[in-house]
Chains A and B, each alone.
Chain A
Amino acid sequence: MSAPVVPAVPTVPARFARTPHVARRERTEQIAKWVFFAMSVSMILPLIAIVAYLLYRAAPSLSLEFLLDVPRKGMREGGIWSAFVGTLYLVWISLAVAAPIGVLAAIYLHEYARDNWVNRLIHLAVINLAGVPSIVHALFGLGAFVYAARFGYSVLSAALTLAIMTLPVIIASTREALASVPKEFRQACWNVGATRWQTIRRVVLPNSISGILTGIILQVSRAAGETAPIMFTGAVFFKAVQRGELFPYGLNDQCMALSMHLYTVSTQVPNVKESIPYATAVVLLGSVLMVNATAIALRVWLRNRKRW
């Protein structure tokens, strides 16, 4: 046994000691990390503060009575029932129109379409439909449904406008849900002789149904919050409704809507009781966020349950 040439123990730490260069490198990394962290947090903290402030200002009006009562004294007092029910109407009808078309369109795009110019055109149309400003959708609804189709200013016109506006939401999330089903599942099914539709019906849809539901839920939240598209197609400032009445509107009636009501009480009506606009905003924001939280919870639950 010869004597060790290099005394190993003392030099290893010496070789990996922090040189000024390494120290500087670590410092810049830390600085970058905290700057980016601050940037992320600076978008979120003001929002929490704002929501807390809205809640604080809305507190005097917030109660079940506020939800169930109709607006009184030229909307200066009372509740928001007529608007709340109107929003439910618009959301359900637009959902009934947009959900089948959107899901089928996504099935076409993901399961049937080949990569050629027709489908690039469809893809471009979907992207563009998502980017069209809401007020342009309003103009379209006015020109197409109110005047050309002679539906007049009605729940139907407003709901159809909302349906077309929210279609891309459903298409995009359904496509994502379909894409999450592995290709091998389809190939196995084709190999035992199933047709395309049988494969979709028995294998693809059962494995992606929860993802599709998430997309539909997101459409609901989007439709509930939109104001501009319904402003000129069927939503009105005020409509007399009984307190707590469940079916106050017909398809050809005009209706009130929560989002429109918030716009009205905060800008168009003078001398409104201080807390009413805040409470309306809190109810609208609360419903939309609750619906979205449901969609997120569903997605997280789904991902944890996944077996492949």
Chain B
Amino acid sequence: MAADDAKRPPLGPFPRPGGAAERLRRPMLSLVAERLLEAAIRLSGFSAVLFVAAIFFFIFREAAPVLFSREFSLTEFLFSTRWYPTSESNVRYGTLALTLGTLSVTGIAIALAVPFGLGAAIFISEFCGPRLRETLKIVIELLAAIPSVVWGFIGLTVMNRVIIALTGAPVGVNLLNGGVILALMSVPIIVSIGEDALKAVPDSYREAALALGANRWQTVRRVLVPAARNGLLAAVLLGVGRAVGETMAVLMATGHAVRVPHSLLDSVRTLTANIAAELGEAPAGSDHYRVLFLTGTLLFLITFVVNLGADLAIRSVRRR
């Protein structure tokens, strides 16, 4: 205790024993507690990095044995459409059909969600009054809160019937169904990030455009959208990230066929849904199990790149 006290710098310029400075000294216990708390704060700060590293480590650890085994070929894993994980004689682990499933569902979702999402973002940020704006933002926040399994259930019951009634297809859980559900799920993200991006454009831009005689639509089209380009791109990328990573909703809404989709009404399976559907049946430590972890690693890397891109886009907005 004494040694510790000696190390501390004196409080005030002229410390006198028993003087005012002496009385201001804090009790030992509170100093130690403060040190400990600050250590905990630093540790928690780094924990996010630790967790991301741990996620990659533990997934890759389970996947590594099969990745480096001799009979496994990475080109077949990435570019073959034959996925026969439980076949007796001809086991094949080709994920191209699943990757195409993910790409097609995401593509449809984004094609639907981007115009509506950005349109709503523009409306909320530029065209509507404060009261309506608050209401819409709250509704969109609630929309974002709906759990994915409930979206999946809506796809399985409501959308299923709607699609059968509209197209006459025998089964309504398919590519189109999954795409619409995913679009509804990624719209809230696109709206909120897009609105942030538009709000970040300085008001002087709007004033300058209005002073030149532009109306609000011309201001949006010629000034705001070009100025907020990067932020809007980030909004779209985060929407893509959400759609690629979504599991339960696509598991329930897209049907279960592992094949390359040829039309909107084909049922497909995505990379995420495939893991969810097969992990329960794959015995721990088997090749099948390890290949599913390898798929997980692939998904981790894809979303990492997408999120990094979105972050770089947002960062360049802030710098300006």
Contacts and interface: CB of A to CB of B under 8 A. Distances in A.
B227 interface: no
Interface string B59-80: 1011000000000000000000
Contacts of B158: 50, 53-54
Interface stretch (A10-18, A62-70, A219-227, A247-255): A219-227
B45 A113 contact: yes
Contacts of A278: 157
Task: Assign chain B's interface to a size class.
Answer: 35 or more
Contact of B293 (A139, A267, A293): A139
Interface string A20-50: 0000011011011101110110111011001
Interface in B25-51: 34, 37-38, 40-49, 51
Mostly, the B contact residues are: helix
Interface string B122-161: 1110011000000010111111011111101110111000
Nearest to B311: A127
B120 interface: yes
A104 B36 CA distance: 12
Contacts of B120: 36, 39-40, 43
B280 A35 contact: no
Contact of A285 (B58, B61, B150, B292): B150
Task: Assign chain A's interface to a size class.
Answer: 35 or more
Contact of A125 (B51, B146, B220, B284): B51
B84 interface: no
Contacts of A139: 58-59, 62, 275, 279, 292-293, 296
Contact of B152 (A231, A263, A285): A263
Given A131-B307, A266-B156, A285-B146, A40 B244 contact: no
A47 B158 CA distance: 11
Contacts of A126: 48
Contact of A284 (B147, B215, B300, B308): B147
Contacts of A296: 138, 141-142
Most chain B Cβ neighbours within 10 Å, of A105, A109, A227, A285: A227
B149 A136 contact: no
Contacts of A121: 49
Interface stretch (B86-94, B199-207, B246-254, B261-269): B246-254
A54 B159 CA distance: 12
Contacts of B146: 225, 285, 288-289
Shortest Cβ-Cβ A-B pairs, 7 listed: A225-B147, A133-B245, A108-B45, A39-B119, A36-B123, A104-B44, A32-B217
16 contacts: A32-B127, A39-B119, A40-B124, A125-B52, A135-B247, A136-B300, A140-B59, A164-B51, A167-B51, A195-B34, A226-B148, A228-B148, A232-B280, A263-B248, A266-B157, A288-B146
